[in-house]
Amino acid sequence: MGAGTYRSTRRRWQPGRAVVLGAALSLAAGPAALAAPADPTPAGSPTPNRAGGARGEELFRQNCASCHGQQGQGSQRGPSLVGVGPASVDFQLSTGRMPIPHEIPQPGRGEPVFSSDEIAALVDHVGSFGGGGPQIPRVAPGSLTAGRELYAANCAPCHGATGSGAPLTNGWIAPPLYEATSVQVAEAIRVGPGLMPVFPSQVLTDEQVNDLTTYVRRLGSEHLDRGGNPLGRLGPLAEGLVGWIVTLGLLVAAARWLGRRAGE
Ligand code: HEC
Ligand code: HEC
Protein backbone atom coordinates (compact mmCIF):
# COMPACT_ATOMS: atom_id res chain seq x y z
CA MET A 1 0.00 0.00 0.00
CA GLY A 2 1.28 3.47 -0.90
CA ALA A 3 0.72 4.94 2.52
CA GLY A 4 2.68 2.14 4.16
CA THR A 5 5.77 2.65 2.03
CA TYR A 6 5.63 6.37 2.56
CA ARG A 7 5.13 5.99 6.30
CA SER A 8 8.24 3.87 6.76
CA THR A 9 10.54 6.25 4.91
CA ARG A 10 9.31 9.71 5.83
CA ARG A 11 11.15 11.99 8.18
CA ARG A 12 9.72 13.69 11.20
CA TRP A 13 7.44 16.66 10.84
CA GLN A 14 9.24 19.99 11.39
CA PRO A 15 6.79 22.63 12.66
CA GLY A 16 9.17 25.57 12.12
CA ARG A 17 9.38 25.04 8.39
CA ALA A 18 5.63 24.80 7.99
CA VAL A 19 4.99 28.08 9.78
CA VAL A 20 7.53 29.83 7.56
CA LEU A 21 6.05 28.18 4.50
CA GLY A 22 2.53 29.08 5.53
CA ALA A 23 3.50 32.70 6.05
CA ALA A 24 5.25 32.82 2.69
CA LEU A 25 2.20 31.37 0.99
CA SER A 26 -0.10 33.88 2.68
CA LEU A 27 2.10 36.72 1.47
CA ALA A 28 2.25 35.33 -2.04
CA ALA A 29 -1.47 34.71 -2.40
CA GLY A 30 -2.98 37.51 -0.35
CA PRO A 31 -4.86 37.52 2.94
CA ALA A 32 -7.47 34.98 1.86
CA ALA A 33 -4.83 32.33 1.23
CA LEU A 34 -4.90 30.24 4.40
CA ALA A 35 -8.19 31.56 5.70
CA ALA A 36 -10.10 30.75 2.51
CA PRO A 37 -10.88 27.08 3.20
CA ALA A 38 -12.64 27.90 6.48
CA ASP A 39 -14.99 30.17 4.58
CA PRO A 40 -16.34 28.36 1.53
CA THR A 41 -17.83 31.49 -0.03
CA PRO A 42 -15.16 33.06 -2.24
CA ALA A 43 -16.67 36.55 -1.72
CA GLY A 44 -13.59 38.17 -0.21
CA SER A 45 -11.18 36.26 -2.38
CA PRO A 46 -8.74 38.34 -4.42
CA THR A 47 -9.29 36.04 -7.38
CA PRO A 48 -13.07 35.66 -7.83
CA ASN A 49 -14.87 34.07 -10.79
CA ARG A 50 -11.93 32.07 -12.01
CA ALA A 51 -12.30 28.86 -13.94
CA GLY A 52 -12.53 25.61 -11.95
CA GLY A 53 -9.04 24.56 -13.04
CA ALA A 54 -7.40 27.75 -11.82
CA ARG A 55 -9.39 27.60 -8.59
CA GLY A 56 -8.26 24.02 -8.00
CA GLU A 57 -4.67 24.96 -8.69
CA GLU A 58 -4.84 27.88 -6.27
CA LEU A 59 -6.48 25.85 -3.50
CA PHE A 60 -3.91 23.12 -3.95
CA ARG A 61 -0.99 25.54 -3.82
CA GLN A 62 -2.36 27.13 -0.65
CA ASN A 63 -3.46 24.03 1.25
CA CYS A 64 -1.76 20.92 -0.05
CA ALA A 65 1.48 21.64 -1.92
CA SER A 66 3.54 22.18 1.24
CA CYS A 67 3.22 18.46 1.98
CA HIS A 68 2.31 16.86 -1.34
CA GLY A 69 4.52 19.03 -3.62
CA GLN A 70 3.54 21.59 -6.30
CA GLN A 71 3.00 18.83 -8.87
CA GLY A 72 1.67 16.33 -6.32
CA GLN A 73 4.99 14.50 -6.48
CA GLY A 74 5.12 14.12 -2.69
CA SER A 75 7.64 15.27 -0.10
CA GLN A 76 9.01 14.13 3.21
CA ARG A 77 5.76 15.30 4.78
CA GLY A 78 3.21 13.75 2.48
CA PRO A 79 2.89 10.93 -0.08
CA SER A 80 2.76 11.41 -3.85
CA LEU A 81 -0.75 12.05 -5.18
CA VAL A 82 0.12 11.17 -8.78
CA GLY A 83 -2.43 8.60 -9.97
CA VAL A 84 -4.27 8.21 -6.63
CA GLY A 85 -7.50 8.89 -8.53
CA PRO A 86 -10.59 11.04 -7.94
CA ALA A 87 -12.15 8.67 -5.36
CA SER A 88 -9.16 9.00 -3.02
CA VAL A 89 -9.09 12.80 -3.17
CA ASP A 90 -12.87 13.09 -2.78
CA PHE A 91 -12.81 10.63 0.15
CA GLN A 92 -10.00 12.46 1.96
CA LEU A 93 -11.59 15.90 1.51
CA SER A 94 -15.28 15.02 1.98
CA THR A 95 -14.58 13.13 5.22
CA GLY A 96 -12.54 16.09 6.46
CA ARG A 97 -9.36 13.99 6.79
CA MET A 98 -7.38 16.38 4.58
CA PRO A 99 -5.94 18.94 4.84
CA ILE A 100 -4.14 18.35 8.12
CA PRO A 101 -2.32 21.25 9.82
CA HIS A 102 0.71 19.05 10.44
CA GLU A 103 1.58 15.40 10.22
CA ILE A 104 -0.49 13.25 12.55
CA PRO A 105 -0.46 9.47 12.94
CA GLN A 106 -3.95 8.77 11.57
CA PRO A 107 -5.90 11.67 10.10
CA GLY A 108 -9.47 11.12 11.25
CA ARG A 109 -12.95 12.11 10.22
CA GLY A 110 -14.03 15.70 10.77
CA GLU A 111 -16.00 18.58 9.33
CA PRO A 112 -14.96 19.06 5.70
CA VAL A 113 -12.91 22.22 5.25
CA PHE A 114 -14.00 22.81 1.63
CA SER A 115 -17.35 23.25 -0.11
CA SER A 116 -18.39 20.57 -2.60
CA ASP A 117 -17.43 22.88 -5.50
CA GLU A 118 -13.97 23.39 -4.04
CA ILE A 119 -13.60 19.65 -3.51
CA ALA A 120 -14.54 19.05 -7.15
CA ALA A 121 -11.96 21.64 -8.26
CA LEU A 122 -9.26 19.97 -6.13
CA VAL A 123 -10.22 16.52 -7.45
CA ASP A 124 -9.79 17.85 -11.02
CA HIS A 125 -6.51 19.50 -10.22
CA VAL A 126 -4.99 16.42 -8.59
CA GLY A 127 -6.21 14.45 -11.62
CA SER A 128 -4.10 16.73 -13.83
CA PHE A 129 -0.92 15.37 -12.17
CA GLY A 130 -1.43 12.02 -13.83
CA GLY A 131 -4.24 9.67 -14.77
CA GLY A 132 -5.45 6.41 -13.36
CA GLY A 133 -6.83 5.51 -9.98
CA PRO A 134 -10.42 4.74 -9.04
CA GLN A 135 -13.20 7.14 -10.10
CA ILE A 136 -15.79 8.40 -7.59
CA PRO A 137 -18.25 5.47 -7.46
CA ARG A 138 -21.91 5.87 -8.41
CA VAL A 139 -24.00 4.14 -5.77
CA ALA A 140 -27.53 2.76 -5.91
CA PRO A 141 -29.69 0.89 -3.40
CA GLY A 142 -28.71 -2.78 -3.05
CA SER A 143 -29.75 -5.92 -1.20
CA LEU A 144 -29.65 -5.83 2.60
CA THR A 145 -29.31 -9.59 3.00
CA ALA A 146 -26.47 -9.85 0.49
CA GLY A 147 -24.87 -6.80 2.13
CA ARG A 148 -25.05 -8.39 5.56
CA GLU A 149 -23.14 -11.48 4.37
CA LEU A 150 -20.54 -9.45 2.48
CA TYR A 151 -20.05 -7.23 5.51
CA ALA A 152 -19.54 -10.17 7.88
CA ALA A 153 -16.94 -11.70 5.57
CA ASN A 154 -15.02 -8.57 4.48
CA CYS A 155 -15.51 -5.73 6.94
CA ALA A 156 -16.58 -7.01 10.37
CA PRO A 157 -13.11 -8.41 11.21
CA CYS A 158 -11.83 -4.81 11.43
CA HIS A 159 -14.89 -2.57 11.89
CA GLY A 160 -16.80 -4.91 14.23
CA ALA A 161 -20.07 -6.79 13.73
CA THR A 162 -22.16 -3.67 14.45
CA GLY A 163 -19.85 -1.17 12.68
CA SER A 164 -18.71 0.38 15.95
CA GLY A 165 -15.02 0.26 14.94
CA ALA A 166 -12.10 -1.41 16.69
CA PRO A 167 -8.41 -0.90 17.44
CA LEU A 168 -5.87 -2.37 15.00
CA THR A 169 -2.07 -2.59 15.33
CA ASN A 170 0.29 0.28 16.25
CA GLY A 171 -2.38 2.53 17.71
CA TRP A 172 -4.35 2.61 14.44
CA ILE A 173 -8.09 2.17 14.58
CA ALA A 174 -10.72 0.98 12.16
CA PRO A 175 -13.19 3.84 12.71
CA PRO A 176 -16.93 3.51 13.39
CA LEU A 177 -18.99 3.46 10.19
CA TYR A 178 -22.05 5.37 11.37
CA GLU A 179 -21.30 8.75 9.78
CA ALA A 180 -19.98 7.76 6.36
CA THR A 181 -22.28 8.53 3.42
CA SER A 182 -23.00 5.83 0.83
CA VAL A 183 -20.52 7.38 -1.58
CA GLN A 184 -17.84 7.55 1.13
CA VAL A 185 -18.40 3.87 1.99
CA ALA A 186 -18.00 2.95 -1.69
CA GLU A 187 -14.92 5.18 -1.99
CA ALA A 188 -13.28 3.55 1.05
CA ILE A 189 -13.92 0.11 -0.50
CA ARG A 190 -12.31 1.08 -3.83
CA VAL A 191 -9.47 3.20 -2.41
CA GLY A 192 -8.44 1.37 0.76
CA PRO A 193 -7.43 4.41 2.86
CA GLY A 194 -4.60 3.97 5.38
CA LEU A 195 -4.44 0.39 6.69
CA MET A 196 -7.70 -0.63 5.01
CA PRO A 197 -7.24 -3.06 2.10
CA VAL A 198 -8.35 -2.12 -1.42
CA PHE A 199 -11.30 -4.10 -2.76
CA PRO A 200 -11.11 -3.77 -6.57
CA SER A 201 -13.99 -4.76 -8.85
CA GLN A 202 -12.52 -8.25 -9.40
CA VAL A 203 -13.06 -8.84 -5.66
CA LEU A 204 -16.30 -6.92 -5.09
CA THR A 205 -18.50 -6.07 -8.09
CA ASP A 206 -20.27 -2.69 -8.31
CA GLU A 207 -23.48 -4.51 -7.38
CA GLN A 208 -21.86 -5.95 -4.26
CA VAL A 209 -20.58 -2.50 -3.34
CA ASN A 210 -24.20 -1.29 -3.54
CA ASP A 211 -25.27 -4.16 -1.25
CA LEU A 212 -22.52 -3.21 1.20
CA THR A 213 -23.27 0.51 1.25
CA THR A 214 -26.96 -0.25 1.81
CA TYR A 215 -26.13 -2.53 4.73
CA VAL A 216 -23.57 -0.15 6.28
CA ARG A 217 -26.13 2.67 6.18
CA ARG A 218 -28.59 0.34 7.93
CA LEU A 219 -25.99 -0.29 10.66
CA GLY A 220 -25.89 3.47 11.13
CA SER A 221 -29.64 3.83 11.62
CA GLU A 222 -29.74 0.78 13.94
CA HIS A 223 -27.04 2.47 15.99
CA LEU A 224 -29.19 5.60 16.26
CA ASP A 225 -32.16 3.48 17.40
CA ARG A 226 -30.10 1.70 20.05
CA GLY A 227 -28.46 4.82 21.39
CA GLY A 228 -30.09 8.20 21.32
CA ASN A 229 -33.62 7.71 20.02
CA PRO A 230 -36.06 7.43 22.98
CA LEU A 231 -38.95 6.44 20.70
CA GLY A 232 -37.14 3.20 20.03
CA ARG A 233 -37.48 2.34 23.70
CA LEU A 234 -41.08 3.31 24.30
CA GLY A 235 -42.39 0.13 22.71
CA PRO A 236 -41.09 -2.44 25.22
CA LEU A 237 -41.66 -0.06 28.15
CA ALA A 238 -45.30 0.51 27.24
CA GLU A 239 -45.77 -3.23 26.75
CA GLY A 240 -44.31 -3.86 30.19
CA LEU A 241 -46.67 -1.31 31.70
CA VAL A 242 -49.69 -2.90 30.04
CA GLY A 243 -48.53 -6.24 31.39
CA TRP A 244 -48.33 -4.85 34.91
CA ILE A 245 -51.75 -3.24 34.75
CA VAL A 246 -53.29 -6.53 33.59
CA THR A 247 -51.51 -8.46 36.37
CA LEU A 248 -52.56 -5.92 39.00
CA GLY A 249 -56.12 -6.09 37.76
CA LEU A 250 -56.13 -9.86 38.12
CA LEU A 251 -54.64 -9.65 41.60
CA VAL A 252 -57.28 -7.14 42.74
CA ALA A 253 -60.04 -9.29 41.28
CA ALA A 254 -58.62 -12.37 42.99
CA ALA A 255 -58.35 -10.56 46.34
CA ARG A 256 -61.97 -9.37 46.12
CA TRP A 257 -63.14 -12.84 45.21
CA LEU A 258 -61.18 -14.36 48.10
CA GLY A 259 -62.49 -11.63 50.42
CA ARG A 260 -66.05 -12.31 49.42
CA ARG A 261 -65.56 -16.06 49.95
CA ALA A 262 -64.09 -15.37 53.40
CA GLY A 263 -67.05 -13.11 54.28
CA GLU A 264 -69.67 -15.64 53.29
C1 HEC B 1 0.69 18.67 6.79
C2 HEC B 1 0.85 17.88 5.60
C3 HEC B 1 -0.33 17.66 4.69
C4 HEC B 1 -1.18 18.60 4.11
C5 HEC B 1 -1.19 20.11 4.30
C6 HEC B 1 -2.08 17.85 3.27
N7 HEC B 1 -1.78 16.51 3.32
FE8 HEC B 1 -2.72 15.02 2.29
N9 HEC B 1 -1.61 13.64 3.29
C10 HEC B 1 -0.62 13.91 4.21
C11 HEC B 1 -0.16 12.67 4.79
C12 HEC B 1 0.93 12.54 5.84
C13 HEC B 1 -0.91 11.62 4.20
C14 HEC B 1 -0.85 10.14 4.50
C15 HEC B 1 -1.87 9.86 5.57
C16 HEC B 1 -1.90 8.42 5.95
O17 HEC B 1 -0.84 7.81 6.06
O18 HEC B 1 -3.01 7.91 6.15
C19 HEC B 1 -1.80 12.28 3.23
C20 HEC B 1 -2.70 11.59 2.42
C21 HEC B 1 -3.46 12.19 1.43
C22 HEC B 1 -4.23 11.47 0.44
C23 HEC B 1 -4.35 9.95 0.31
C24 HEC B 1 -3.29 9.50 -0.64
C25 HEC B 1 -3.45 8.08 -1.07
O26 HEC B 1 -2.41 7.40 -1.18
O27 HEC B 1 -4.58 7.63 -1.29
C28 HEC B 1 -4.83 12.42 -0.35
C29 HEC B 1 -5.73 12.16 -1.54
C30 HEC B 1 -4.44 13.71 0.15
N31 HEC B 1 -3.61 13.55 1.22
C32 HEC B 1 -4.85 14.90 -0.39
C33 HEC B 1 -4.57 16.14 0.18
C34 HEC B 1 -5.11 17.38 -0.32
C35 HEC B 1 -6.01 17.51 -1.55
C36 HEC B 1 -4.65 18.37 0.50
C37 HEC B 1 -4.95 19.83 0.46
C38 HEC B 1 -6.35 20.19 0.52
C39 HEC B 1 -3.78 17.74 1.49
N40 HEC B 1 -3.78 16.39 1.26
C41 HEC B 1 -3.08 18.42 2.49
C42 HEC B 1 -0.13 15.16 4.52
C43 HEC B 1 -0.73 16.35 4.18
C1 HEC C 1 -7.82 -4.53 7.78
C2 HEC C 1 -8.88 -3.79 8.41
C3 HEC C 1 -10.02 -3.23 7.58
C4 HEC C 1 -10.92 -3.93 6.79
C5 HEC C 1 -10.96 -5.42 6.49
C6 HEC C 1 -11.86 -2.94 6.32
N7 HEC C 1 -11.53 -1.69 6.78
FE8 HEC C 1 -12.56 0.02 6.46
N9 HEC C 1 -11.11 1.08 7.41
C10 HEC C 1 -10.01 0.53 8.05
C11 HEC C 1 -9.17 1.62 8.53
C12 HEC C 1 -7.85 1.46 9.26
C13 HEC C 1 -9.81 2.82 8.19
C14 HEC C 1 -9.32 4.26 8.46
C15 HEC C 1 -8.46 4.71 7.32
C16 HEC C 1 -8.00 6.14 7.45
O17 HEC C 1 -8.51 6.87 8.29
O18 HEC C 1 -7.10 6.53 6.68
C19 HEC C 1 -11.03 2.44 7.51
C20 HEC C 1 -11.97 3.38 7.06
C21 HEC C 1 -13.21 3.04 6.53
C22 HEC C 1 -14.26 3.97 6.22
C23 HEC C 1 -14.25 5.49 6.48
C24 HEC C 1 -15.12 5.80 7.68
C25 HEC C 1 -15.37 7.26 7.92
O26 HEC C 1 -16.34 7.59 8.64
O27 HEC C 1 -14.65 8.13 7.44
C28 HEC C 1 -15.29 3.26 5.71
C29 HEC C 1 -16.64 3.79 5.25
C30 HEC C 1 -14.88 1.86 5.68
N31 HEC C 1 -13.61 1.77 6.21
C32 HEC C 1 -15.65 0.82 5.22
C33 HEC C 1 -15.23 -0.51 5.12
C34 HEC C 1 -15.99 -1.55 4.48
C35 HEC C 1 -17.38 -1.38 3.89
C36 HEC C 1 -15.21 -2.69 4.54
C37 HEC C 1 -15.53 -4.05 3.97
C38 HEC C 1 -15.77 -4.12 2.54
C39 HEC C 1 -13.98 -2.34 5.24
N40 HEC C 1 -14.03 -1.02 5.55
C41 HEC C 1 -12.95 -3.23 5.51
C42 HEC C 1 -9.74 -0.81 8.18
C43 HEC C 1 -10.41 -1.84 7.55
d(C-alpha 15, C-alpha 32), whole Å:
22
Nearest Cα to Cα of residue 134 among 179, 90, 96: 90
What are the CA-CA distances from residue 110 to residues 95, 107, 203, 230 (Å)? 6, 9, 30, 27
Mean pLDDT, the chain, integer: 78
Which residue's alpha carbon is at the smallest distance from atom 12 of ligand 1? 78
Task: Using the mean position of ligand 1's atoms as its centre, give its distance from the Cα of residue 79 in Å.
Answer: 7
Is 63 touching ligand 1 by the criterion CB < 6 Å? yes
Q: Give distance in angstroms: CA of 88 to centre of ligand 2.
A: 13
Give which of 134, 151, 120 is closest to 192, Cα–Cα.
134
38 with 113: CB under 8 angstroms? Answer: yes
CA of 56 to the centre of ligand 2 (A): 28
**CB of 84 shorter than 6 A to ligand 1:** yes
Q: Is ligand 1 within 6 A of the CB of residue 89?
A: yes
For 117-156, the pLDDT digits (tens) are 999 999 999 999 998 899 999 999 999 999 999 999 999 9
CA of 26 to the centre of ligand 2 (A): 35
pLDDT digits (tens, 9 = 90+) for 152-191: 999 999 999 999 999 998 889 999 999 999 999 999 999 9
Q: How far, in Å, CA of 220 to CA of 180, rounded?
A: 9
Distance of alpha carbon 168 from the chain centroid = 17
Residues 6+ apart with CB under 8 A from 31: 46
Burial of 246 (0-12, 13-18, 19+ CB in 10 A): exposed
Q: Whose CA is closest to 154, among 130, 177, 126, 179?
A: 177
Residue type at 229 in one-letter notation: N
pLDDT given at position 226: 82
> Using one digit for the tens of pLDDT, what is the confidence trace for 33-61?
333 343 343 333 333 334 458 999 999 99
Give the span between the Cα atoms of 99 and 28, in whole angstroms.
Answer: 20
Nearest-CA residue for atom 14 of ligand 2 = 174
Q: Which residue has the higher pLDDT, 248 or 77?
A: 77
Ligand nearest to the CA of 150: 2
Is 214 close to ligand 1, i.e. is its CB under 6 Å away?
Answer: no
